[in-house]
Amino acid sequence: NSDTDDDGKPLWPAKRLDLGDEHLAFVIQHLRLRVVDLENKLKGTPRQTGKRKLDYPSFWGKITQMGLTEVEAHEHLGAASVNDWLDENRGTLEGALQKIVASVAQSKTARARQPAPAREPTEPPDRELDKVIPTRTQEEFNSTLDLLRICSEDFGMASSAVFSELGYPNQKAYDEAAIENPFISYLQIKSVRRPESEGEIEPEDLPF
């Protein structure tokens, strides 16, 4: 019988046991490999942290994303070309891009600080023309808030109207202009709102 050995013991169960041992060994080995793999992932491996260097297509792609033309990019660099800037400064494309970004930011900040163009003053209502304006002195104007309060009392003006008539977009722009004395601004508004009362100002009242 082919299923028994010389002693008459069955071969098939032994063969099944051998196959089971091989399978078990394979599973154990597989699990060991998985454990090692998981340990490596948990420990982590050193990563490349350096930034990839810009090439010219990437550089000009970023310039386009910023909404700049090639000529404008050169103006922000202060050079005739990118290559000239690189040669003069021994720089990199990354450095050139950083300079352009900084220059654009400075330009936007400068434009934001420029006073808005003065608008033509609107004709005040008749009731404002009939109102008696008290004589003001520079001692009453110690801050921008004093200017706004008095313009509201004398001319019925909102804060936004005050700054607009003075040629500024908002209070921040007005304060950054560092007006020496708000009384000067008051006189400017009064000359427009009540020009007929200019003669009421005594020379010693002027802040200059």
- Residue 156 phi/psi, 5-degree rounding, is 65, 35
Q: Tell me what pLDDT residue 91 has.
A: 82
Last residue of a domain, one of 113, 137, 153: 113
| 37 domain residue, yes or no | no
Residue 148: inside a domain, yes or no?
yes
* Cα–Cα distance, 103 to 85 (Å, whole number): 14
State the pTM of this model: 0.36
Q: Which domain holds residue 85?
A: 56-113
Tell me the pLDDT tens digit for each residue of 1-60.
455 556 665 555 544 444 456 667 767 776 776 665 555 445 444 333 344 467 888 889
pLDDT of residue 151: 92
pLDDT at 150: 92
Establish if 2 belongs to a structural domain: no
Check whether residue 102 and residue 171 sit in a common domain: no
Parts of the chain with a pLDDT under 70: 1-23, 26, 30, 33-53, 116-130, 196-208
* Number of structural domains in the chain: 2
Do 201 and 130 share a structural domain?
yes
On whether both 108 and 165 belong to a single domain, the answer is no
The reply to whether 69 falls in a domain is yes
Residues 174 and 141 both lie in one domain: yes
